Structure formats: structure tokens, C-alpha cells
Amino acid sequence: MDFNIFMGDVVEAARKEIKEAGYTELQTPESVEETLEKEGTTLVMVNSTCGCAGGVARPAAASAIHYDKRPNQLVTVFAGQDREATEKAREYFKGYAPSSPSFALLKDGEILKMVERHEIEGHSPVEVVNKLQQLFDAYCEEV
């Protein structure tokens, strides 16, 4: 099988999975800036094609939002695929090194906290859901 065809299928499946979970995909720097500057809380899932994204991060992203409190906006950028959009999103993650997969919680365009790759890789989806919901408890309003 041709590697590029295989990877195209993997990328498309990863995009579909996170969008079906309720996240809006941001593919341009302009859409990132417009979205992250909005008032309220925003959870950014930095998607990737690695195993811990598919086995832990995306399942956690889908499950964590079924909770009493959650961010006003749920968005995703795709590291390694939508490079300019991901770079733009990372400009908002001041104090944190680039990390994918990862989650960033922002309020009014300012970073509050991140769940970085080292907090995802080697952990179960339930552990990551718990980390995200702890952030929701601390920073988000009831839905």
C-alpha cells in the first residue's frame, strides 16, 4: 500500500472522529484567531496521528464534554496537517512547549492550563477525562 494513501486515510479518520465528537475544526490561522479571541472559555484539542491521539486523546475529548460544566467552545487544530493553523493556535499557549496531542483551555483568548502529551501518553482515556473535567470544574460554567 502506498504510504501517502494510507496516511491520508488515517488523517481523514482522525479528523472525522473529533468532528463527530462535537469539535469544530480550525484549518487556517484566520479561523484560529477569530475563534480563540471570542469571549468565554475554549478547549482546543491539538490533534495528531500518533497512537496516543487515537487511543487516548480523541476518546477522552469525546467523553470529557458530557459533564455538568464544559467550555463554551470546543475546537481542534491538526498538528502536522494544518501547520499554519496549529502554529497560530500555539501562539496562544504561552509558557507551554509545542505538544501533540494536547489540550489547551483558554478564557477570552488567554491560556489557563494545558494537558500536555506527557499527561496523555501512557495514561488511560479515563485519566485524561478526569484531568479535563477538573479543569472544567475550575474554569467553566454549568451548561
Residues designated as active site = 50, 52
Distance CA 138, CA 27 (A): 29
Q: Are 64 and 129 in contact (CB under 8 A)?
A: yes
Residue with cell 494510507: 6
- C-alpha 50/C-alpha 41 separation (Å) is 27
Reading the block at residue 83, the C-alpha cell is 501547520
CA distances to 44, 54, 73, 109 from 17, rounded to whole Å, are 15, 9, 17, 26
